[in-house]
Each structure stands twice: as structure tokens, then as C-alpha cells.
Amino acid sequence: MNRWERRNTMAPVVTMRQLLDAGVHFGHQTRRWNPKMQRFIFGERNGIYIIDLTQTLAHIEAAYTYVRDLVAKGGQVLFVGTKKQAQDSVQSYAERVGMPYVNERWLGGLLTNFETISKRMGKMKEFQRMRSSGELDVMPKKEALLISRELAKLERNLNGIRDLTRPPDAVFVLDTKKEHIAVAEANKLKLPVIAVVDTNCDPDVIQFVIPGNDDAIRSGELMCRIISDAVLEGRFIAQGNASAKSQPTEEAPTEDDTSAAPAEEAPTVAESQPDGD
């Protein structure tokens, strides 16, 4: 589904074959697990836990529906995935649908101290303005170099959230252990977390659990694609609702309208009487 294409709502969000091909069913080694994930485990093979994909399918549907409905109401979803195998997918699929993302380093307080983070974004935008206007070119070389280095650091950490003017309405996370600070901040603010939860993670801190492999590149890419599709469908719904509201409703004819219509003339008395001899 491209940026302007709507999913066939009669089709499933994802198929079992797609999950298998992406390796979503592979969990961690049996010695590295969280007992709270037991209910999502189908079995074990060669020392690796196998995730129950029938549950994964159901949980994906629930997460998809939530994100779709949230975006249809104007909500924003922050995509988060800072480990190497997640970075490209998080950036490309978030940019595909115009959602904010973090794929480098999670800055502590990004959610819980958003005002401070906003000031840093303002600083980054000012440095970017100076660069594009040529102001850096006429500054002393040492000062310009310091600003350029700071700008590069700010862009690396903040460019994905540069257009975020308020905390997001929900957070999508690819690895809850790696992104435990992001999850904790979201929980503190009571922001819903949608997350791929592997067999070594705690599902109790996640509002929308998607049991699955959080390490494989293809698995992470598939999950990012699913959530971005939900965003697109939510946008289509919002656009449809806006169009419906802007369409003028057809009004029933009023009394004035009916009186304006020409009435059939009644025959005169002379015309209606028979001729007399």
C-alpha cells in the first residue's frame, strides 16, 4: 500500500504466511525468557521459544484498529526503535505517513519533560536557519565549526521529532527492553504503548501487546509497515468525515418554494356553464 492507497478493508491486516516469512514466530532462547510471556508461547524448538502466531494475528488486528481510530480523530503516534536493525524501518515508515520518530538515541524526558526538549528543537531550527541563510559562512571559523558540530548532534537526535509541537497521543515501540525508558515515560503520562513484545519482555507494561520477534529486520519492517498502514487508513477516514461535513445537505422544498410554482388556472364561470338557447 503506497502513501495514497487505502487498504482493502475486507482483507486481513496481515496473513499467517507473511508473519512466518518474516520470522515473527521466533522468540529468544529458552534460558532467556520472561514467565509473563508464557501465555503467548506455542512451544519450543531447538532451545528457541516459538510464539503463537494465532495470538499475534489477533493482537495485530486490535493494535491496527486502535491506531486507525486514533489517527482518524487527529491523533499522533510516535515511532520508536533505536537499535541498529530497527533504525531504517522506523524512519522510512514514519516518514512515509508523516509521523514523528526516534531512531537514534532516546533523550530522557522527551515525553515527561517535553518543554525542555521543545527548547532544544527550537535551537536546532535556529541553527538550521543560520546554515541555510549563509550566516555560518561569514562567522569566525572556530565559532561556525562549534555550531555546525552541535547542529549535527541535534539533528541526529531530534530531526525525527522536529514537527512535534506536543507530546504524542500514543507510542509505537519495536523493542520494549531496549526502549524501556520510552515505555516508562509513556506509562507515567498514561500514553498508550503499542509494542512488539518478545519472549524475554514484560507484557504487563504494554497496553497493546503484539507478541513477536523484536530482533529480526524483516519482522520489525513488517510491524512498522502494519502500523503505518493503520495511520494511512485513519487519515482516509478523517478526510472522508471532513468531506461529508463540508458537503451541503439537500433541503426539502419550503412553503415559499411551493407557492412560487405556477398553479393550474381554474375555468371561469362562463367557461364552465353550458350554452343556453
**144-198 tens-digit pLDDT:** 999 999 999 999 999 999 999 999 999 999 999 999 999 999 999 999 999 999 9
Residue 158 located in a structural domain: yes
Q: Side chain identity at 190, as an amino acid letter?
A: K
CA distance 161 to 78: 8
pLDDT at 249: 56
Query: Are 265 and 35 a contacting pair, CB within 8 Å?
Result: no
Residue 256 located in a structural domain: no
Q: Assess whether 144 and 215 both reside in one domain.
A: no
- CATH, residue 154: 1.10.287.610
Domain count of the chain?
A: 2
CA distance 217 to 88: 9
Q: Assess whether 146 and 28 both reside in one domain.
A: no
Q: Assess whether 130 and 207 both reside in one domain.
A: no
Residue 260 located in a structural domain: no
Q: How many CB atoms lie within 10 A of CB 84?
A: 9
Partners of 58 in the β-ladder = none
pLDDT tens-place string over residues 240-255: 877 777 666 555 555 5
In this prediction the pTM is: 0.83
Q: How many CB atoms lie within 10 A of CB 42?
A: 16
User: Which range (2-11, 59-68, 105-114, 148-157) has the least confidence?
Assistant: 2-11
Query: Are 16 and 53 a contacting pair, CB within 8 Å?
Result: yes
Q: Side chain identity at 189, as an amino acid letter?
A: L
Q: Assess whether 102 and 25 both reside in one domain.
A: yes
Q: What long-range pairs does 127-135 form, CB within 8 A, spacing at least 24?
A: 127/151, 127/154, 128/155
Query: Are 221 and 196 a contacting pair, CB within 8 Å?
Result: no
Grid coordinates 519482522 are at which residue?
219
209: left (phi over 0), alpha (psi -120 to 50) or beta: beta
Residue 6 located in a structural domain: no
Domain span holding position 49: 16-111+167-240
Q: Assess whether 30 and 98 both reside in one domain.
A: yes
pLDDT tens-place string over residues 218-234: 999 999 999 999 999 99
Residue 264 located in a structural domain: no
pLDDT tens-place string over residues 100-155: 999 999 999 999 999 999 999 999 999 999 999 999 999 999 999 999 999 999 99
CA distance 185 to 194: 14
CA distance 137 to 199: 53
- Phi/psi for 54 (5° steps) reads -65, -35
State the maximum Cα–Cα separation within the chain, in Å, rounded to a whole number.
Answer: 124
Q: Assess whether 189 and 106 both reside in one domain.
A: yes
